[in-house]
Each structure stands twice: as structure tokens, then as C-alpha cells.
């Protein structure tokens, strides 16, 4: 490619309309130019598969006149690494090796943060230091903080555990050490064996592997570059070490968005994406935290993912759960708004080409709860509908102007029980009570009784029903003719 040829064409096409591709390319080109990024790469995925990639800029290596970057060029992804560490922890939980409410000391004794729970560390609610003691860990070799104790320092506490969200890099160093201890191998070995290899993410590594971008600082007042160091972070690696490509991060976005359960169950991913904390002092919250993932509240819904930065690099991965995802990376220390770019790419695609609803098909009902549980039910005088879902679960929704909506899945207790998965009744059990002959009597849910008619006296309504039943309101006031 001649030095003066712009690298502007998409590197991969996957069914988007030409007008949409042009719109996405314009956004990438504008951010690369406006942010003065030596190079910038981006990708969009739908249904967990890449549909578009692009790259701009040529200063990928130490020769600014070199070739441009593509879908296979590695960039350092910084704190996106934390999402991998979190999934490793959640796999341990699902195997019964730990509980999220366990104090750290139960599994990794001897630290100065042993009273914090696993869940608090995952959601940055542990109240511990954001960074290591000096020197700044991101720009020095890992030998500067050779042990976990060195990374934590003698007094890492900052707030009462659980009081507020306080982002902590050292908290994820602790979680990486927890993974290593319970797996009996290094964090990097566990990462490769459990996540990278099964997902085919061969271009995601702890140290850079060619072709890879070099990190630069861009002078704030001149168009010149300064190479940034790229050291092994040592014990801090679980917080921000990894290098990856847009092609590999699209695969990872399919995990976080729930398009695949290859390495983690759908239920656990849903749990990770539930808001556990929000950034304090932000009014109407925009940025929040789940269990090892960041949540970004946008007009179109809450996105899941993470931003990342290390000296010389910025990166972002965001996805709509079960929807569109985008990745953006640049080899510049600052100035490039990759988070806004990734979110903008998602919005642009979904606006220009809204995803089609799944085609409706009749669902078999054999082996499912009989259809007599569906229909209108009353909680006291309030009407609700109960619908059978294609997955064999139920949806409880109010018919009036207000009320609580929840989904349920078949419960472990067998026929006639359902477990709430979201909304007010999450974790509560819905029981269909039947007559000895199998006829349906009423529903019980978290001590509430739902009946086929409002306050049916034939059913065990808590507190009973007035013996005189429904009646007109007493006559009050009124003038004479």
C-alpha cells in the first residue's frame, strides 16, 4: 500500500447495507482524525458474529509510515481484562468452589482485605484502594510490586465495605490470585485453559504477539509521538494485562451479550449483568457495575461491557444483551473517545438497520404445565395475566395501570412450581395449588394468594373475606330536589 493511500475500506463485510457501512466508516474516520489517534480499529457484531470491521491510521509500529491495522492486529485492552477474570471467578462459583458471599480469607488467607466478600471485590464495593502504592503500576515493570502484599500496601482500606462503589485495580489483582490458588495454576494458565482455548481466541495473549500495535503518547500541542512502555504487570495482570484483536473481542462480546453459553451459563451471565452498584454522585446513573462488568445506561437500554486503558492504548467493548456489540481500540494514551465511538456504532447500526424480531412459531406444550394456569388472576382486586412462555416458563404481568411484572422458570421442586428470575419476585417460588382431582384452586407467591376472581371467599385469602361480600358504597352527602 502506498504511504499516502488512506486505509479506509472495511476489512470485513457481513450483510450490512452499503449506506450503513459508509456511516460507520465515517464515525471511525472522524474519531481517528479528531482524536489524533496513530491508528484506530473498530468492529461491529450481531448475533455474536462480526458484520463489519474497519481501521484508520498507519502509525501502528515505530515507523509512522508503516502499514495500517486490521482485525488481526493486537492492541492492549487494559481493564477489559477484568471481565475475563470475573468469568473465571464465576465459573468457580458455579462449580461450588466458592460462594459470592464468602469472605476472601476463606479461600485466600493472609491478605489485608480478607474480610471483603468475593462479590464486593467483583463489583468494586470492597472499599479498597483504587491503585497500588507508588510507583504507578501501569507504567513500570511488575517487579515494582512483586507480591500481592506489595500491590495492596499496608493499609488498602478506603471505605467501609459495601458503602459505595470505588473502582479498584488492586481488587482484581486479589481476584486473580484467588483464581490461581483455587485452580492450582497461574491466572494466565487458567485463563488460557478455561476461556481462550475453548473460544478459539488464539490472538488474545498476556504479552504482545506480532502483528501488534505499539503504544504512543500524542503530544497535546504538536503532531508528534512518544513511545510508551509496555511492561508485564506481574500480579496486577488480572486487572489490565491482556492484548487482543477486534476479531477475538467480537468472540468475547458474544459471551458477555449471552449469544453463547460455551464457557458460562446464561443464568450466570444474567446475574453478572445485574446492577450491583452505580458510580456515586452521578444523579441519574449512567455508569454502573455488575459482577466484573461495567453497565452503561443509554436511552436504548443498558449496555454491558468494559472500557480499558494502559499507557499507549485505549479500548472499549460494549454490547446490548442478546443484541448488537461493538469494539473500538486505539494506540494512544489519551484523547480518543473509544467508549463513545463503540456506543455510537451500536446505535448507528440498530437505528439504520433495526434487528428483525424472531419469527413466531408455535411451541409444543407436551410435558409443560397445563394451560389452565394461564389467563387472568387476581391479587386481591388487582388483575394480572399469567402467560406460558416458549421456554416453558411463565410471565406474570399486571393488567391495570400499575403492578409488578416477573418472569418465572420451572422450579426444582417439580410440577406446579416456578422460580422467579427477575423483577420483584426474583428468587421467589410460585406454586400452583390443585384439588385432589387435579383441578386448579389458586396460586401462591411469596405469601400472596392469586385467585380467579377478586377476593374469592372460596379460596384461602390471607385475613379472610368479609362475610357480606362486595356491596355498593354507602350514600353520603347530596342535596334535596
Under a CB-based contact definition with an 8 Å cutoff, are residues 256 and 305 in contact? yes
Domain boundary residue among 319, 352, 385?
A: 352
- For residues 81 and 195, give the distance between their C-alpha atoms in angstroms, rounded to a whole number: 12
Domain boundary residue among 352, 380, 404?
A: 352
- For residues 162 and 140, give the distance between their C-alpha atoms in angstroms, rounded to a whole number: 31
Q: Are residues 191 and 91 in the same domain?
A: yes
Q: What integer pLDDT is reported at residue 438 of this predicted model?
A: 86
* Residue at 446 is within a domain: yes
* Residue at 289 is within a domain: yes
More confident residue, 340 or 284: 340
Can the peptide bond before residue 135 be classed as cis, meaning omega within 30 degrees of 0?
yes
Q: Nearest-CA neighbor of 43 among 247, 311, 285, 229?
A: 247
Q: Does position 15 have pLDDT exceeding 90, yes or no? A: no
Q: Are residues 382 and 292 in the same domain?
A: no
Across the chain, mean pLDDT equals: 91
* Residue at 85 is within a domain: yes
Q: Nearest-CA neighbor of 399 among 342, 329, 454?
A: 454
| Sign of CA pseudo-dihedral 277, 279, 281, 283 | negative
Supply angle C-alpha 187, 189, 195, rounded to 5.
90
- pLDDT tens across 370-394, in order? 788 999 999 999 999 999 988 888 9
Q: What is the CATH number of the domain that holds 115?
A: 3.40.710.10
Q: What integer pLDDT is reported at residue 477 of this predicted model?
A: 59
Q: Are residues 382 and 303 in the same domain?
A: no
* Residue at 19 is within a domain: no
Q: Are residues 143 and 223 in the same domain?
A: yes
Residue 300: which residues within 8 A CB-CB, separation 6 or more? Answer: 320, 347, 350
| Out of 303-317, 326-340, 386-400, least confident range | 386-400
Residue range 161-183: average pLDDT? 96
- pLDDT tens across 56-86, in order? 998 887 776 667 889 999 999 999 999 999 9
Q: Does position 232 have pLDDT exceeding 80, yes or no? A: yes
- For residues 208 and 206, give the distance between their C-alpha atoms in angstroms, rounded to a whole number: 7
Q: What is the value of pTM for the model shown?
A: 0.89
Q: Nearest-CA neighbor of 300 among 252, 348, 250, 359?
A: 348
Q: Are residues 330 and 273 in the same domain?
A: yes
Q: Are residues 114 and 236 in the same domain?
A: yes
Residue range 169-177: average pLDDT? 98
Cell of 109: 488467607
Q: Does position 336 have pLDDT exceeding 90, yes or no? A: yes
Q: Nearest-CA neighbor of 204 among 124, 288, 317, 296?
A: 317
| Out of 106-110, 208-212, 314-318, 454-458, least confident range | 454-458
Domain boundary residue among 352, 386, 419?
A: 352
Taking CA atoms, 437 is separated from 374, 430, 433, 441, in Å, by 19, 20, 11, 11
- pLDDT tens across 32-57, in order? 999 999 999 999 999 999 999 999 99
Q: Nearest-CA neighbor of 292 among 268, 328, 323, 259?
A: 268
* Residue at 386 is within a domain: yes
Q: Are residues 162 and 273 in the same domain?
A: yes
Give 92's pLDDT tier (boundaries 50, 70, 90).
very high
Q: Does position 23 have pLDDT exceeding 90, yes or no? A: yes
Q: Are residues 317 and 403 in the same domain?
A: no
Residue 166 φ/ψ, nearest 5 degrees: -140, 100
Percent of residues, the chain, with pLDDT higher than 90: 75
* Residue at 281 is within a domain: yes
Residue 356 φ/ψ, nearest 5 degrees: -75, 140
* Residue at 461 is within a domain: no
Report how many domains make up the chain. Answer: 2
Q: Are residues 160 and 307 in the same domain?
A: yes
* Beta carbons within 10 angstroms of residue 92's beta carbon: 20
Classify burial at 131, counting beta carbons within 10 Å of its beta carbon; exposed 0-12, middle 13-18, buried 19 or more.
Answer: middle
Q: Nearest-CA neighbor of 409 among 397, 424, 396, 394?
A: 394
Domain of 407?
371-451
Q: What integer pLDDT is reported at residue 2 of this predicted model?
A: 31
Q: What integer pLDDT is reported at residue 281 of this predicted model?
A: 63
Give 4's pLDDT tier (boundaries 50, 70, 90).
very low
* Beta carbons within 10 angstroms of residue 45's beta carbon: 28
Q: Are residues 90 and 204 in the same domain?
A: yes
Q: Are residues 128 and 262 in the same domain?
A: yes
* Residue at 9 is within a domain: no
Q: Does position 3 have pLDDT exceeding 60, yes or no? A: no
Angle formed by the axes of helices 18-34 and 338-352, nearest 10°: 160
Q: What integer pLDDT is reported at residue 5 of this predicted model?
A: 30
Q: Are residues 375 and 345 in the same domain?
A: no
Amino acid at each position: 500500500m502506498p504511504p499516502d493511500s488512506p486505509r479506509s475500506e472495511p476489512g470485513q463485510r457481513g450483510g450490512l447495507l452499503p449506506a450503513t457501512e459508509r456511516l460507520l466508516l465515517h464515525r471511525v474516520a472522524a474519531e481517528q482524525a479528531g482524536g489524533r489517534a496513530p491508528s484506530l480499529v473498530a468492529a461491529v457484531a450481531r448475533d455474536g458474529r462480526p458484520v463489519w470491521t474497519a481501521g484508520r491510521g498507519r502509525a501502528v509500529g515505530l515507523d509512522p509510515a508503516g502499514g495500517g491495522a486490521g482485525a488481526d492486529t493486537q492492541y492492549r485492552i487494559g481493564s477489559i481484562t477484568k471481565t475475563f477474570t470475573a468469568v473465571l471467578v464465576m465459573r468457580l462459583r458455579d462449580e461450588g468452589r466458592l460462594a459470592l458471599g464468602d469472605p476472601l480469607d476463606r479461600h485466600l488467607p493472609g491478605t489485608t482485605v480478607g474480610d471483603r466478600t468475593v462479590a464486593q471485590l467483583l463489583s468494586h464495593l470492597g472499599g479498597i484502594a483504587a491503585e497500588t502504592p507508588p510507583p504507578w503500576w501501569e507504567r513500570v515493570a511488575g517487579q515494582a510490586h512483586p507480591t500481592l502484599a506489595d500491590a495492596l500496601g499496608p493499609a488498602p482500606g478506603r471505605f467501609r465495605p459495601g458503602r459505595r462503589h470505588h473502582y479498584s485495580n488492586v481488587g482484581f489483582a486479589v481476584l486473580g490470585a484467588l483464581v490461581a490458588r483455587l485452580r492450582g495454576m497461574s491466572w494466565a494458565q487458567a485463563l488460557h485453559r478455561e476461556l481462550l482455548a475453548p473460544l478459539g481466541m488464539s490472538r488474545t495473549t498476556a504479552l504482545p504477539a506480532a502483528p501488534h500495535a505499539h503504544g504512543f503518547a500524542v503530544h497535546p500541542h504538536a503532531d508528534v509521538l512518544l513511545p510508551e512502555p509496555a511492561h508485564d504487570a506481574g500480579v496486577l495482570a488480572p486487572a489490565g494485562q491482556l492484548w487482543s484483536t477486534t476479531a477475538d473481542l467480537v468472540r468475547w462480546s458474544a459471551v458477555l451479550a449471552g449469544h453463547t453459553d460455551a464457557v458460562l451459563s446464561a443464568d450466570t451471565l444474567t446475574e453478572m449483568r445485574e446492577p450491583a452498584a452505580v458510580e456515586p454522585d452521578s444523579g441519574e446513573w449512567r455508569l454502573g457495575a455488575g459482577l466484573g462488568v461495567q453497565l452503561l445506561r443509554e436511552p436504548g437500554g443498558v449496555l454491558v461491557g468494559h472500557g480499558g486503558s494502559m499507557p499507549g492504548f485505549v479500548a472499549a467493548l460494549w454490547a446490548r444483551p442478546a443484541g448488537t456489540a461493538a469494539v473500538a481500540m486505539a494506540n494512544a494514551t489519551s484523547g480518543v473517545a473509544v467508549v463513545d465511538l463503540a456506543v455510537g456504532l451500536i446505535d448507528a447500526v440498530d437505528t439504520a438497520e433495526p434487528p428483525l424480531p424472531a419469527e413466531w412459531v408455535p411451541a409444543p406444550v407436551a410435558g409443560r404445565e397445563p394451560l389452565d394456569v394461564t389467563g387472568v388472576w387476581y391479587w386481591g382486586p388487582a388483575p394480572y395475566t399469567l402467560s406460558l412462555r416458549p421456554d416453558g416458563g411463565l410471565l406474570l404481568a399486571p393488567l391495570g395501570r400499575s403492578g409488578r411484572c416477573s418472569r418465572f422458570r420451572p422450579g426444582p421442586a417439580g410440577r406446579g412450581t416456578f422460580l422467579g428470575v427477575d423483577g420483584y419476585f426474583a428468587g421467589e417460588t410460585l406454586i400452583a395449588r390443585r384439588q385432589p382431582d387435579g383441578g386448579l384452586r389458586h396460586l401462591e407467591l411469596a405469601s400472596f394468594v392469586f385467585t380467579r376472581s377478586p377476593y374469592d371467599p372460596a379460596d384461602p385469602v390471607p385475613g379472610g373475606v368479609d362475610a357480606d361480600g362486595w356491596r355498593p358504597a354507602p350514600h353520603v352527602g347530596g342535596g334535596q330536589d
